[in-house]
Structure 1
Amino acid sequence: MALVLNEEQTMLRDSARGLIGENAPVSHLRQLRDSRDAVGFSRDLWRTFAEMGFSGLLVPEEFGGSGLGCVEAGIIMEEIGRTLAPSPFLSTAVLAASALKRAGSAAQKSEHLGRIARGELVASLAVDEGVKHRPRHTALQATRSGNGFRLNGAKGFVVDGHVADLLIVAGRTAGAPGEAGGLTLFLVDPKSKGIAVERTVMVDAHNAARITFDNVDVTADGVLGEVDQGGTLLEGVLNVGRGAVASEMLGAAEEAFGRTVGYLKERKQFGKLIGEFQALQHRAAHLYCEIELTRATVLKALQLLDADVDTAAAAVAVAKAKAGTTGTLAVQEAVQMHGGMGMTDQFDIGFFMKRMRVCQELFGDSNFHADQLARLKRY
C-alpha cells in the first residue's frame, strides 16, 4: 500500500487544518491555561467537530458515524498536534469509540456510539496506575459482588477524566499484576458512589485526572467484552491510541520545524541570516529527513491497524518509538535555534516541547516501545 494519502484523505486533512487552525491556534491553549478554565477545552469547538463528522470518524455508519479508519483519525490528530489544540478527540473519538466498536454489546453500542458521534458524550480510558505505562501491571481489583463486580483501586493519567461522562476502566478479575491474563474492561459511570476524581493540569496545560475507586459497584451489563479476557482487547485499543498519539507528535514536530525554519530565514547575526550558517543548515536538513521517515512509519502503522488491529503491534511500536525520538529532537532543536527567547513562556515554541514530553509518556515512551518490539521479534 502506497505511503501517501488518497484524494478523500487529503480533503479531510485540508478541512481539519482549516477548522483547527482557525479556531484553536496555540493562543487558544494559552488562553485556556491562563484563565484556569474548568473544562480545559472548548465545548463549542467539540460540537463543531461533531458537526463536521470528526467525532464520529471511527463510529460505524449504523450509529451515525462515518465508519472510517485509523488513517483518517491520524489525520485529525496530526492537525491537532500542529496547534496543540486541547480536545477530547483522542479519549473519546479514538479510544472509547474503538473499544466500544470492537467489544461492545448491542445495547452498549446503541447507548454510547451514537452519542459519541453527535458530540454528546466524553469518555476516558483509565489504565495506568504507576509512574510509567505498564498495562499488564494493572492492580485495580474487580471482585465479584452479586450479579456484577466491585472495584477497588486507583488510576492516574486518565486523559479528560475530570469531565468524562463515561469511564472505560481496566481491572484485574484474575491473576496477579504483571500477568497478561485476568484483565477485564468495565464501563463505569463516573458519578457512581465511591468514585473520587481529582483533576491534574499537566505541564503542557492539557488535562488528565487521578481517579480513586472505593467499593464501586458495576453490574454485569457494565462488562465490556469477556471477563478475564480483556488483555487482548485493551492492547488493541491502546495500539489504536498509540498510533493516534504518534500522529499528534508528528504534527507537532513538523509545526515546530516549520516555525524554526522560518526563524532561520529572519534572524540575523553578524550581519548575516543565521540560516546561512552551514552548521544550522546541516541540523535542519537532518531533522527534515527524520520527520519524513517518521511520517512513513506512522502512516504505515495506521494502515496496518485498519487492515488488522491484532497484527499491527510491531508497526505501532516502531511508529510510537520513532515519533518520540523525532519529536524530542524537533522541539529541542526548535528551542535551541530560537535562542534565549525560545525558553520564555511568552514565546509559543516552549508549548511544543512540553506537549511532546507528555506525549512521549502517554501509552508508552520510546524505550517502552523499543522493548515491545524486541519482545515481539523474540530478540
Structure 2
Amino acid sequence: MTTDTQRPATAVTFVETDEQRQLREMLRDFLGARATSERVREVMQTDTALDDAAWKELGEYGLLGLTIAEEHGGAGSSFVELAIVIEEAGKRLLPAPLLSSAVLGTTALQVGASAEQQARWLPDVATGASRLALAHLDERGRMTADPGVTATRDGDGWVLEGAAGYVVDGHTADLLVTAATSEDGLQLFVVPAEAAGLARESLPTLDLTRPLASIRYDGVRVPEDDRLAGEAVTALHDAVAAGIVAIACEQVGGAQQVLHLTTGYARERIQFGRAIGSFQSVKHRLAEDLVKLEAARSAALHAARAVAAGDREEIAIAAPLAKALCSEVYEAIAADGIQLHGGIGFTWEHDAHLYFKRAKATKLLLGDPHLHRRLLGDVLGL
C-alpha cells in the first residue's frame, strides 16, 4: 500500500531494442575494420587529425544524421541511438568530428534555427558533406555570459569581431556556429569557414585524436539570414547539455575498451609462474573498475534518455551527474590500465597512453567534475 506521501516503486529498464542492438553490432564491425590502432595513429599525425574516409562512410550509412528529421535527410531517430554511435566511437578513439558536428552544432541548429534555415543547412550535415563546429568559449576556454566575440549591426547584416578559443574540430569545420554578444543580447551566427576576415589556428592538445582550434573574427560580415532566428540562449544551453551527455557516453566507451584490454593482458601476462590476473590484488582492482564502469554506464544512458525525451528539468540533473561520474571513472580505469600493463603500458607503442590522454582531455572538456558537481548542487538546492 502507498500513502499520499509515498510513490510506488517504478522499474527502470536499460535494455536495448533489437534495432539498437543491431546498430551497435554494425558499428563494432565497421569501427573494428576502419578505426584500428594503426589507422588512428596514422590519422592523428596528420595536419587535420581527421579520418575523411571513415567520416564519408559514416555519412553514407546515415549515422551522422541520426537525430536530424527525415525531411532534412536524416533518420529521425532519437539521441539514444546517437549515443550508441558516440560510445562505440569512443572505444576506438575515432578521429572524426562526431561531437562537434553531429551533437553540438546539430543541436544548436535544431533548437535555434528557423525551418528555412534548417532546410538550408541540415541536409548536408546529415550526409557529412558539411561539418559543423560550435564556437562558444572565450580565448581562455571559459563558457561565460559574455563570449569573446561581439556582433554589431551593419545595414542588413552583422559584423563579428573577437576570438573564440578551444573550438572542438574548429580547424576542419565548414560552418562555425558562433556565439556573439550584441546590443540585443546573445546571438548565434552560422559563419562559413572561408568567410573574409576569419582566421583559424590549431592549438596544441594533450589528446592528439581530438583537435582544438582558436577562431579569430576580424570584421567578418554575416547576413541577417545567417543569424539563427530562434532563442540563442536556449539553443546554446541545449547544445552544450547534449554535448556534455555525449562526452559521458564517449567516456563509457573508452573506459570499457581499456578495461577489456587490461583484463585480456592480465590473463596472458605470466609473472612468478602465474598469470597476473590470478593475483588477488589485481582481481580486486579489475572487479572494482567493472563496478565503477557499470555505474557510469547507467548514469550516461539515463542522461541520454533525458536528452532524447527533451526533458530539460531531468537533463539539468542527469547531465552534470553523468559528466562528473564518467569523467572520474574513465580517468581511474585508464590509469589502472597503464599500471597493470607494467612497463609496456608506459611506452608510446602501446595504446594505453592514448586512452589516458583522451580521459584527461574529456574530463576537462565542457567542464570538469568539480564544476558539474557544483551545478548539480545548485539544481538540487544543496
TM-score range, shorter chain: over 0.9
Q: Please report how far the alpha carbon of residue 131 of structure 1 lies from its aligned counterpart in structure 2 after TM superposition.
A: 3.8
Amino acid at match of 1:16: L
Amino acid at match of 1:29: V
Q: TM-score, normalised by structure 2?
A: 0.93
Contact 1:70 1:244 in 2 (8 A): no
The residue that corresponds to 2:244 in the other structure is 242
Contact 1:28 1:85 in 2 (8 A): no
The residue that corresponds to 2:200 in the other structure is 197
Amino acid at match of 2:202: R
Q: CA RMSD in A?
A: 1.5
Match of 2:227 among 194, 219, 223: 223
What SS does structure 2 have at the residue aligned with 1:151? strand
C-alpha separation between the residues in 1 aligned to 2:156 and 2:331? 48
Q: State the Cα deviation string for residues 161-204 of structure 1 (Å, max 9, x = none).
A: 111110001111249xxxxxx32111111211111101235222
The percentage of aligned residue pairs carrying the same residue is: 34
Q: State the Cα deviation string for residues 280-303 of structure 1 (Å, max 9, x = none).
A: 111111110010001100000010
Amino acid at match of 1:85: L
C-alpha separation between the residues in 2 aligned to 1:109 and 1:13? 28
Match of 1:274 among 273, 276, 279: 276
Contact 2:112 2:232 in 1 (8 A): no
Worse overlay, 260-269 or 250-259 = 260-269
C-alpha separation between the residues in 1 aligned to 2:238 and 2:99? 15
Q: Please report how far the alpha carbon of residue 68 of structure 1 lies from its aligned counterpart in structure 2 after TM superposition.
A: 0.9
Amino acid at match of 2:56: R
Given the superposition, is the C-alpha separation of residues 219 and 160 from structure 1 closer, same or farther in structure 2, using an over 3 Å criterion? same
The residue that corresponds to 1:283 in the other structure is 285
1:59-138 superposed matches below 5 A: 59-138=68-147
Q: State the Cα deviation string for residues 330-378 of structure 1 (Å, max 9, x = none).
A: 1011011111211110111110001111111211111121111111112
The unaligned stretches of length 5 or more in structure 1 are: 176-181
The residue that corresponds to 2:4 in the other structure is none
What SS does structure 2 have at the residue aligned with 1:162? coil
What SS does structure 2 have at the residue aligned with 1:265? helix
The residue that corresponds to 2:341 in the other structure is 338
What SS does structure 1 have at the residue aligned with 2:268? coil
- Residue 57, structure 1, aligned to residue 66, structure 2: yes
What SS does structure 2 have at the residue aligned with 1:224? coil
The residue that corresponds to 1:326 in the other structure is 329
Worse overlay, 133-142 or 94-103 = 133-142
What SS does structure 2 have at the residue aligned with 1:260? helix
The residue that corresponds to 1:149 in the other structure is 158
Q: TM-score, normalised by structure 1?
A: 0.93
What SS does structure 2 have at the residue aligned with 1:341? helix
The unaligned stretches of length 5 or more in structure 2 are: 1-11
